[in-house]
Amino acid sequence: MMKASYLGAMGYAQRSNFPTTWPIPPIYHDPETSVRSYQEGIEECELAEAMGFAWVSFSEHHYSGRIATGTPAVMAAAVAERCKKAKIAMLGHLLTLNNPIRVAEELGLLDNLTNGRLVIGFLRGTPNEDQTYSVNPAEGRGRLLEGMDLVIKALTEPQPFSWEGRYYQFRTVSVWPRPVQQPLPPMVVATRSDDMLHYAAEHQLGLAVSFVPVDQMAKVAEKYYAWCDEAGWQPTPDQIVYRGSIYLAETDKQADEWLEGVKRAGPVPGGIAMRPAVSRAIQAARAGEAFDLRNILAGGVQGDVAGAARGLSFMGGPDTVVKQMKAFHDQCGVGVVDLFFQQPSVSHKEVMQEIELFGREVLPQIKEF
């Protein structure tokens, strides 16, 4: 049975007015609009739960109003007070930017506040986000691996302990409160890299993949399943998560007309943009290659829109979207689709209509997979 998750992006209502560069200057922020945007985002989460979505998810992203949850634990706690049945999925913290002990404390508290409804996910984030807190991109993977080890131990170790790692050192660790779900809440790793896939398989953690075509995810999943076999276990459907963008219409024709309108409007505002030199330098650093720190300058007026031109994972009328989702289920073993509904030029009212249509026409069919 495939489940649906609603990504609580909490996008700023007037994000269509943003420039295409990253970061978004604070001058674009209007307090009244911002408050309304968060209230509308919470309403969308409530409707998703009412229509049968099993999860509501949150991600940490910075300096952009498109996914306006820089502190996802705060947002998750607010939504958890309004959504009493859905799993609260932290998909998730950018562990390379955060103190792992603070993250462990937030996760333990969230699992208590939700009475054991938490799902934990860790990710590295987009290349530009290394710059948010001036993290060396070359250290990101090592910080993520060590950080996950530390969070897991902090949430499971019954006695205080010390930690002397390469990136983190703590004289005393004694996290309160402990999770309600023992020994740990369900945990997934968002990755496509071999070392992280191997880590997830060895530690019996789930896999999350975002915004790639089904054939690419199938290749990633094949490696992951093979390493799970070597480790002597197999993941459940709930441990294979795919996050994708969606535009659902009453008919394929209506969806095509919407997409043509987006194309005619030109480059998508509200995405994440950097100068090409910046993007290349950060990607090189992440891969352990040579790079020039002098190129690490964010905020240029020119740049590629990284992610804003990202293709839709699911688009069309209900039957077409069902077929698209079935491909991820059959070829990749996906058990949970985490859906980003807040597309460019789509209003809150239209998102609410899409959620209702999904719950009425799509969800009953994918539950049969």
Can you give the pTM of this predicted structure? 0.89
* Cβ-based burial of 198 (10 A; exposed 0-12, middle 13-18, buried ≥19): middle
- The per-residue pLDDT for 346 is 92
Average predicted confidence (pLDDT) for the chain: 88
Least confident of 2-16, 88-102, 108-122, 298-312: 298-312
| C-alpha span between 214 and 225 (Å, rounded) | 16
CATH classification for the domain delimited by 3-15+27-267+311-366, as one of 3.20.20.30, 3.40.47.10, 3.40.50.2300, 3.40.30.10: 3.20.20.30
**String of DSSP letters for 14-82:** TGGGS-SSSSPPGGG--HHHHHHHHHHHHHHHHHHHHTT-SEEEE----S-SSS--SSHHHHHHHHHTT
Give the mean model confidence (pLDDT) for residues 296-315.
Answer: 45
Q: Is the pLDDT of residue 170 over 90?
A: yes
Q: If residue 241 lies in a helix (H) or strand (E), which one and from where to where?
A: strand 240-248
- The per-residue pLDDT for 280 is 52
| C-alpha span between 313 and 319 (Å, rounded) | 15
| C-alpha span between 59 and 67 (Å, rounded) | 8
Per-residue burial over 147-183, b = 16 or more CB atoms within 10 Å of its CB, e = otherwise? bbbbbbebbeeeeeeebeeeebebeebebeebbbbee
DSSP 358: I
Residue 52 has φ and ψ, to the nearest 5°, of 110, 5
- The per-residue pLDDT for 334 is 98
**Closest-CA residue to 12 (of 51, 63, 87, 50):** 63
Q: Is the pLDDT of residue 318 over 70?
A: yes
- The per-residue pLDDT for 311 is 65
| C-alpha span between 303 and 279 (Å, rounded) | 9
Residue 367 has φ and ψ, to the nearest 5°, of -65, -20
Tokens coding 33: 């609009």
Q: Compute the C-alpha angle 168/100/92, nearest 5°.
A: 140
Q: Dump pLDDT digits (tens) for 334-350.
A: 999 999 999 878 999 99
Least confident of 258-267, 278-287, 344-353: 278-287
- The per-residue pLDDT for 267 is 58
Res. 100 pLDDT band, cuts 50 70 90: very high
Percent of the chain predicted with pLDDT > 90? 74
| C-alpha span between 300 and 317 (Å, rounded) | 39
Q: Dump pLDDT digits (tens) for 61-95.
A: 898 888 899 999 999 999 999 999 999 999 989 99
Give the mean model confidence (pLDDT) for residues 26-36.
Answer: 95
- The per-residue pLDDT for 308 is 35
Strands 161-164 and 169-173: antiparallel
- The per-residue pLDDT for 58 is 97
- The per-residue pLDDT for 262 is 80
Side chain identity at residue 128, one-letter code:
N
| Sign of the torsion angle spanned by Cα atoms 242, 244, 247, 253 | negative
Q: Are 40 and 347 in contact (CB under 8 A)?
A: no
Res. 138 pLDDT band, cuts 50 70 90: confident
Q: Is the pLDDT of residue 111 over 60?
A: yes
- The per-residue pLDDT for 285 is 44
Give the mean model confidence (pLDDT) for residues 32-46.
Answer: 97
By residue count, the chain amounts to: 369
The larger pLDDT score, comparing residue 272 to residue 84, is at: 84
The larger pLDDT score, comparing residue 117 to residue 297, is at: 117
The larger pLDDT score, comparing residue 24 to residue 305, is at: 24
Give the mean model confidence (pLDDT) for residues 237-248.
Answer: 96
Name residue 316's beta-bridge partners: 248
- The per-residue pLDDT for 309 is 31
- The per-residue pLDDT for 154 is 98
